[in-house]
Amino acid sequence: MDPTPPILRRLTPWILAVTLLFLTGMAVSRVLSLRQELAAQVMRQLEDDLKDRVETWESGLVDQLSQWTEVAGADPLQGPSLQARMRQRRAYFDSLYVWLPAEQIRTPQGIEKIQGKYQFPREALIEDPQRLAREPCLIQARGLAALEETDALQASAAYRTWCRDAPPPIRIVALSEAVTHLLDEQLFDDALEALDSDGLPVEMTLREASLRGISPFRAMVLKFERADLYKATQRDEEAYDLLLRIGIEITELDAPELIDLVKWVDYAIWFLERHKQNAQALRLRAERERAVRRLGGFNEVTRSLLDRLPPSNAEPPRFIYDQYDDDTYLLFTRWVQGSQQGVALQLDQQFLLEDFLESAKRFRGQLQILDANGSRHAGVRRPGPIAMEVPFRQTLPHLRVALMQSAVDTRLTRLDKEWVVPALLAGMMLLMGFFALYEQVRASRQQRLLLQRQREFATRVTHELKTPLAGIKVMAENLELGLYNSDEERSDMAKAIVRETDNLTARVNEILSVAKERTLRNPEPFDPEEAVLEAVELWGPRLDAAGVEFEADLHPTDEVMGDMEAVRDAVACLLDNALKYRREDADPSRVLLTLTQEGSTVEIAVSDNGIGVPPDMRKQIFERFVRVEGPNRGKAGGHGLGLAQVAQIASAHKGRAKCDEGIDGGSRFVLQLPALS
């Protein structure tokens, strides 16, 4: 007989129809708003991702620059080599400045302030005309060249012969004046021969000449004279290449030497443009602009930093930039910790922005770098609407990173497919009933499984508790019946009862310990090695006594935030399982405990050659009351709570526990914990 009332059976289709119509209306309404919600979500995700990339890049840049300033401040004498290495390593690095700060000294007239002094770069090497006027070989050669009867060849020979044994700076000045006489008489071949035999090597740069005590200005003059001679002897390509090289060598000089020579780059540019060498002139013009920015940074250090007194308290590093000048400069400056030295690193903003764009590869072709006026400084050139802007907060606050709207549209296009709407509606209607049924079945199955596990757990615990209780009862009854006549027998029996009671209490405490949920009430940093060593001290002797070959391979790691006692208990539980579930036929039984760190993850692993865990159970065994049943597995005891506790401890530390293949078919349990950065 159908117990359902007839009225209810008739109303059921209508109830289902109304429910279906209601759900369909809700679905349509939801789909109509889905596009807007999806667009807003994509915008938030892209903005968060862009912010993260900007902050990560800025933090990495500040750390790198701080490290360089520490190295430079530690040994200013290594300034030239350090500057060369940094220029080679990072395109955005331009110049290094190290100085001793200003100081105040007490004099009879009062407090006098002494301006700071550069330790690097060194002062410009400049020729002293008065000293040159006192050089005997130059005096004689100039006197001979001034005579009317002396021709250019004789004057050149006098300069080169009489000053041949002079120091290199004097000898190069003499050669320059000799070549000038030959050029005036258009003796080009003789002038080239003089440069080739007595001049600087063609490959020697102006910086190298300066390091050898030769004025960069004089070395530059000789190079320009050689370029003029190439042009005069129809060696045009060599002349153009040499002019380009001269200009680049000038722009690579440090600021003190660059001040008086940068104007000669304009001459090289003019000469190249005049002879239609536009590509070389354009390259040289870009190098000149960078050199002018370097001069601006050097002048700023000299004007505003060199005259500063050292701070009384530690100052954070800061960026100094000039966003209004056409030749803007960018400086990173800080006082070196533990010393009284100031260090500044000059950076090229354009190359710095290119470095950022290279780091943000995910948004390649979708980013622009804009200033407050909306002017573009780097990034894509094509126009288009901007979806969002993220500022540089630490490094370049006058600039913003802009993401094009096309990036958002591209992301939405991939997500917004036409089949989503009909599939969503049809699928919702068809799967709604199946989903409800599935959830009901799944919940019922889980409930039965949980009840079964709990019954098995209760059976195991009851068996383990009843056995010692039965023994205690028998011994107590024997005592009550007076079956033991001597005091010694009664004493032994009483001791046995106490021993069994202690074992029973220990078993109850063990069950309560593994059954309770482990939480981290007062987490604190600790060294994982200490927790592992405590577990080794407790279980090492037990493993040795059982004939297990035990090995611990512990490597230094970062600290972990959490509860050291809980981690120790987790390791102890894994070692206990390795001892319980060893193979009787293994010769010998082996257990390997390792402590390592991979990236930001600390791993504690216990590997053995025991009976192992079937692959299909390696995830389930971390659930409460789950044990691997089968032959030779029940002898070891256990309640299915130990590994669940290990998983809880790992989860409480924001880590995870897993089971893999061990030694020779055994098991390998891994406890992964996040390192404290």
The answer, yes or no, to whether the previous bond of 121 is cis (omega within 30 of 0) is yes
d(CA 69, CA 337): 10
d(CA 456, CA 435): 31
User: 103-107 and 376-379: which strand pairing?
Assistant: unpaired
For residues 506 and 548, membership in a common domain is answered with no
Residue 217, Cα to own-chain centre: how many angstroms? 44
For residues 537 and 652, membership in a common domain is answered with yes
Using one digit for the tens of pLDDT, what is the confidence trace for 338-372? 667 899 999 998 899 999 999 988 887 889 999 88
The confidence score (pLDDT) of residue 441 equals: 46
For residues 555 and 629, membership in a common domain is answered with yes
d(CA 121, CA 253): 10
Contacts of 34 (CB under 8 A, 6+ apart): none
Residue 609, Cα to own-chain centre: how many angstroms? 39
Average pLDDT of the residues in 3-32: 60
Domain membership flag for residue 31: no
d(CA 672, CA 567): 11
For residues 507 and 628, membership in a common domain is answered with no
Instruction: Provide the 8-state DSSP code for 96.
Output: E
For residues 535 and 648, membership in a common domain is answered with yes
Range of weakest confidence among 34-48, 137-151, 182-196: 34-48
The confidence score (pLDDT) of residue 98 equals: 93
pLDDT band at 211 (very low <50, low <70, confident <90, very high): confident
Domain membership flag for residue 461: yes
Helix (H) or strand (E) holding 661: strand 656-661
Phi and psi dihedrals of 429, rounded to 5?
-65, -40
Q: Is the pLDDT of residue 673 over 80?
A: yes
Domain count, the chain: 2
SS3 at position 455:
helix
The confidence score (pLDDT) of residue 434 equals: 45
For residues 524 and 653, membership in a common domain is answered with yes
Range of weakest confidence among 1-5, 161-165, 545-549, 652-656: 1-5
Residue bearing tokens 């220029």? 87
**CA neighbor of 64 nearest in space, from 236, 441, 368, 317:** 317
Domain membership flag for residue 582: yes
Q: Write the DSSP string, 335-380.
A: EPTTSS-EEEEEE-HHHHHHHHHHH-GGGTTSEEEEETT--EEEE-
Using one digit for the tens of pLDDT, what is the confidence trace for 158-192? 888 888 888 888 888 988 888 988 888 899 898 89
For residues 455 and 594, membership in a common domain is answered with no
Using one digit for the tens of pLDDT, what is the confidence trace for 379-412? 888 888 998 999 998 888 889 999 998 888 887 7
The confidence score (pLDDT) of residue 532 equals: 93
The confidence score (pLDDT) of residue 184 equals: 87
Phi and psi dihedrals of 193, rounded to 5?
-65, -40
Contact 347, 331 (CB under 8 A): yes
The domain containing residue 490 runs over which residues? 450-513
Average pLDDT of the residues in 255-279: 92
Domain boundary among the residues 513, 545, 565 is at 513
Domain membership flag for residue 407: no
Using one digit for the tens of pLDDT, what is the confidence trace for 432-485? 654 544 454 455 555 565 555 566 555 556 655 666 776 676 677 666 677 667
Range of weakest confidence among 47-51, 291-295, 311-315, 400-404: 311-315
Q: Is the pLDDT of residue 20 over 50?
A: yes
Domain membership flag for residue 526: yes
d(CA 597, CA 485): 65
The confidence score (pLDDT) of residue 110 equals: 77
Average pLDDT of the residues in 401-424: 73
pLDDT band at 2 (very low <50, low <70, confident <90, very high): very low
**pTM for this model (two decimals):** 0.56
The larger pLDDT score, comparing residue 520 to residue 121, is at 121
Domain membership flag for residue 129: no
Query: Tell me, what CATH number does 482's domain have?
Result: 1.10.287.130
The larger pLDDT score, comparing residue 642 to residue 656, is at 656
Q: Is the pLDDT of residue 275 over 50?
A: yes
Using one digit for the tens of pLDDT, what is the confidence trace for 548-599? 999 999 999 999 999 998 899 899 889 988 888 888 888 889 999 999 999 9
For residues 533 and 615, membership in a common domain is answered with yes
For residues 569 and 534, membership in a common domain is answered with yes
The confidence score (pLDDT) of residue 68 equals: 92
Domain boundary among the residues 470, 492, 513 is at 513
Amino acid letter, residue 106: R
For residues 542 and 601, membership in a common domain is answered with yes
Measuring CA to CA, how many Å separate 270 from each of 16, 107, 109, 123, 432? 88, 54, 54, 29, 79
Three-point CA angle 615, 621, 626, nearest 5°? 125
d(CA 271, CA 258): 20
Contact 343, 100 (CB under 8 A): no
Q: Write the DSSP string, 540-552.
A: HHHHHHTTEEEEE
Please provide the average confidence, as pLDDT, over all residues in the chain.
82
The confidence score (pLDDT) of residue 86 equals: 92
SS3 at position 118:
strand
d(CA 5, CA 72): 92
| Residue 30 structure tokens | 């939801």
d(CA 176, CA 174): 5
Instruction: Provide the 8-state DSSP code for 306.
Output: T
Contacts of 377 (CB under 8 A, 6+ apart): 349, 350, 353, 369, 370, 371, 399
Using one digit for the tens of pLDDT, what is the confidence trace for 535-556? 899 888 888 888 899 999 999 9
Domain boundary among the residues 468, 484, 513 is at 513
For residues 472 and 559, membership in a common domain is answered with no
For residues 576 and 609, membership in a common domain is answered with yes
Domain membership flag for residue 183: no
Using one digit for the tens of pLDDT, what is the confidence trace for 91-137? 999 999 999 888 888 777 778 888 889 999 988 888 888 888 888 88
Using one digit for the tens of pLDDT, what is the confidence trace for 593-628? 999 999 999 999 999 998 888 998 888 888 877 777
Contact 620, 674 (CB under 8 A): no
Question: CB atoms < 10 A from the CB of 375, how many?
Answer: 9
d(CA 390, CA 400): 6
Query: Tell me, what CATH number does 661's domain have?
Result: 3.30.565.10
**CA neighbor of 138 nearest in space, from 129, 148, 147:** 129
Domain membership flag for residue 647: yes
List for the chain the helix, strand, coil content (%; round to 5).
60, 15, 25
Amino acid letter, residue 606: V
- Furthest CA-CA distance within the chain: 149
Q: Is the pLDDT of residue 1 over 50?
A: no
